Amino acid sequence: MILLGLVASLWIWLAPSELTLGTGIKIVYLHAASIWAGMTGLTLAGFLGFTLLLRPNPKLEQWIRSIALVGFGLFILGFLLSMIAAQVNWGGIFWQEPRTAANLRVVAVTLIVLVVTSWPVRARLKGLLLLGLPAALFWTTFS
């Protein structure tokens, strides 16, 4: 994991500057990679939640929880990096910007789902709630 982080850091450091944003583009690269990796993890957790809805399985439930937590962590990292990128490239964070509002909605829905699925509720209910993750991502991306 450390080696992967070092390789990614080197890759970003060696990336060329962009004409308009200059070296500010590099934080955008990190932001985009983190957001997409997080969305992929949350979507995977949601689709695996459908499997849990059909056939409860404690081992699968543990895997889904881990995938959802890692996906959420990456999504939060990407969101925080987007704020840094906005500050660096545009001089401020625009809270009314549609993407910022969309990211905050995804964070809220994911946080609610993760808290409720950590409670001792039936596995099928957890699977149903987890299906809300890709639904929230789709809703915020295409609305």
Query: Is residue 38 in some structural domain?
Result: yes
pTM higher than the cut 0.85: yes
Percent of the chain residues topping a pLDDT of 90: 69
Q: Is 6 helix (H, G, I), strand (E, B) or coil?
A: helix
Query: Is residue 11 in some structural domain?
Result: no
pLDDT digits (tens, 9 = 90+) for 10-53: 777 777 777 676 777 888 888 999 999 999 999 999 999 999 99
Query: Is residue 30 in some structural domain?
Result: yes
Packing angle between helix 132-142 and helix 123-130, nearest 10 degrees? 10
Query: Is residue 131 in some structural domain?
Result: yes
- Identify the pLDDT of residue 12: 72
Q: Taking 70 as the threshold, does the pLDDT of residue 125 lie above it?
A: yes
The pair of three-digit structure tokens given for residue 59, joined into one six-digit string: 């081992």
- Identify the pLDDT of residue 15: 74
C-alpha angle with apex 20: 17 to 23, nearest 5 degrees? 30
- Domain hosting 111: range is 24-142
136 contact partners, CB below 8 Å, separation of at least 6: 105, 106, 109, 110
For position 110, which CATH number holds?
1.20.120
Q: Taking 70 as the threshold, does the pLDDT of residue 57 lie above it?
A: yes
Task: State the number of CA atoms in the 13 A half-sphere of 53 facing the CB.
Answer: 13
Query: Is residue 132 in some structural domain?
Result: yes
pLDDT digits (tens, 9 = 90+) for 74-110: 999 999 999 999 999 889 998 899 999 999 999 999 9
- Identify the pLDDT of residue 130: 97
Tell me how many domains the chain contains.
Answer: 1
Helix, strand, coil tally for the chain in percent (to 5): 80, 0, 20
Query: Is residue 56 in some structural domain?
Result: yes
Query: Is residue 5 in some structural domain?
Result: no
Query: Is residue 18 in some structural domain?
Result: no
Q: Is 22 helix (H, G, I), strand (E, B) or coil?
A: strand
- Identify the pLDDT of residue 19: 66
